[in-house]
């Protein structure tokens, strides 16, 4: 997949561009339906499948602090590439760009720069100043300017509307299992292992790999989770605690993962953590011995859950290796 990080990088319009536009946060199953339709149409016509997105997310500019993202830009690139899209155009989003009239966006960007021949959008998509570029507007533009517009209906899984908003709600509530059903994969946290207090192994008996979290991140409900850890091309089971270590009187938000059957030093190395299931809320224990005993129970439960879904989870790790 070719990636363009500004419109200026596009030297000539794409041949037979079949285009979709969106924020695509999380690249969930609904987005994947869009990409499949775009890729199919481009293949049948001998054209180019093109996805247009924005960075930063428009709500980060229009309502600072008002949104927590499911996926980083790097994750979004990886997942869109896996969907079979030929070209990804990432438009830098600014307040000035937000003021672009919808018709100017169609004429100057979609038609002139991208070379739009065929447009596919989600049922709720809207863009341009005042969100005036909704599906009704796009269809009228298509009739007037000679390009077909296909609107993809809402997608439901397990009786839930597949949307980035719903997935954020589920993750914030700790329901990572339901979020997986809408994403089509596990919710994943990424980062470099940071130096912690080093008490996990010495005092508690369960060494951890620590990831720093920011209040601006999409932070799951505080508690303990079953997880998979991908590190250096290998996949391991584990338990992760998201919270602030109340037993030790701390208030710094952190994600601490005890990785099963693992004894390597991975300080400052990147890891990926797939969150599989919620075990329990974080709580304050009377002391280290009580905390250690509870973690032992958490580990036993987590290993039992991982064993039941061993084959499915192995395939999920293989997917990650291919990104």
Q: Are 81 and 88 in contact (CB under 8 A)?
A: yes
Strand pairing of 87-92 and 254-259?
unpaired
Q: How many CB atoms lie within 10 A of CB 83?
A: 20
How many other CB atoms sit within 10 Å of the CB of residue 159? Answer: 6
CA-based angle 298:304:308, to the nearest 5?
145
Tokens 């009739």 — which residue? 143
In the residue annotation, 108 being an active-site residue is answered as no
In the β-sheet with 223-231, what is the strand arrangement from edge to edge?
A: 187-192, 270-281, 223-231, 234-243, 254-259, 209-212
Cβ proximity of 170 and 179 under 8 Å: yes
CA distance 189 to 157: 23
Whole-number Å distance between alpha carbons of 186 and 313: 10
Token code pair at residue 127: 């863009």
Catalytic residue among 2, 9, 256, 290: 256
Active site residues: 256
């Amino acid at each position: 997949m070719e990636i363009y990080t500004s419109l200026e990088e596009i030297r000539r319009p794409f041949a037979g561009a079949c285009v979709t536009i969106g924020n695509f946060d999380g690249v969930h199953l609904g987005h994947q339906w869009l990409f499949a339709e775009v890729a199919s149409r481009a293949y049948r016509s001998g054209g180019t499948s093109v996805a247009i997105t924005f960075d930063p997310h428009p709500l980060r500019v229009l309502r600072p602090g008002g949104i927590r993202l499911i996926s980083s830009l790097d994750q979004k690139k990886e997942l869109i590439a896996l969907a079979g899209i030929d070209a990804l155009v990432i438009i830098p989003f600014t307040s000035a760009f937000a003021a672009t009239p919808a018709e100017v966006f169609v004429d100057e960007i979609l038609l002139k720069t991208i070379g739009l021949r065929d447009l596919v959008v989600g049922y709720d998509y809207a863009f341009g100043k005042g969100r005036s570029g909704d599906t009704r507007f796009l269809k009228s533009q298509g009739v007037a300017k000679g390009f077909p517009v296909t609107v993809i209906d809402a997608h439901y899984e397990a009786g839930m509307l597949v949307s980035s908003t719903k997935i954020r709600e589920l993750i914030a509530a700790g329901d990572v299992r339901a979020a997986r059903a809408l994403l089509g994969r596990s919710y994943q946290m990424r980062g470099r292992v940071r130096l912690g207090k080093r008490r996990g192994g010495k005092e508690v008996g369960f060494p951890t790999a620590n990831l720093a979290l920011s209040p601006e991140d999409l932070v799951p409900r505080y508690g303990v989770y079953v997880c998979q850890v991908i590190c250096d091309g290998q996949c391991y089971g584990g338990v992760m605690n998201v919270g602030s270590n109340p037993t030790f009187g701390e208030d710094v938000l952190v994600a601490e993962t005890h990785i099963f059957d693992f004894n390597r030093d991975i300080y400052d190395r990147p890891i990926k953590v797939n969150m599989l299931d919620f075990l329990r809320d974080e709580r304050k224990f009377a002391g280290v011995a009580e905390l250690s005993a509870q973690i032992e129970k958490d580990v036993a439960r987590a290993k039992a859950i991982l064993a039941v879904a061993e084959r499915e989870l192995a395939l999920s790790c293989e997917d990650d290796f291919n990104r």
